[in-house]
Amino acid sequence: MRRKVECFEDLFIWQKGVEFAKEIYLLTENGNLKNDFGLKDQMRRAAVSISTNIAEGFERRSRKEYLNFLNIAKGSTGEMRSLIVCRLSNRIHRRNETRNFARTGKIFERLDYEPY
């Protein structure tokens, strides 16, 4: 039986978004990426945007608005995947960094979210 969702913090997808942002913050603090300020900043903003848009949409008054914000959050996951690919295609990354980004990027891979 499902638990009733009363606030956005109850949403599994929001919780995963927060975890994802934490992982990105940790990954961008180390290695060569810590000095690539532009890419690091863009990755962090896109990662935070996922859970933030889910939360903002949940707080809206209509299902239509909520779905719109879920679509924006989904767009941010695409942005993150693209940034990760750009980073991994750069030859200065380390092997363990590659594994960490690949693992972190899979958080949203097969995740479907149900509004309400």
**This model's pTM is above 0.85:** no
| Alpha carbons 43 and 83: distance in angstroms, whole number | 7
Calculate what percentage of the chain has a pLDDT beyond 70: 76
Does pLDDT of 7 surpass 90? Answer: yes
* Domains annotated on the chain, with CATH: 10-106 (1.20.1440.60)
Instruction: Read off the pLDDT band of 33 (50, 70, 90).
Output: confident
30, two tokens: 């180390």
Region 8-14: mean pLDDT is 94
| pLDDT band, residue 6 (cuts 50/70/90) | very high
pLDDT in tens, 38-58: 989 999 999 999 999 999 999
Q: What is the pLDDT of residues 58-113, one digit of tens each?
A: 999 899 999 999 999 999 999 988 888 887 777 555 555 656 666 655 655 544 44
CB 115 within 8 A of CB 70: yes
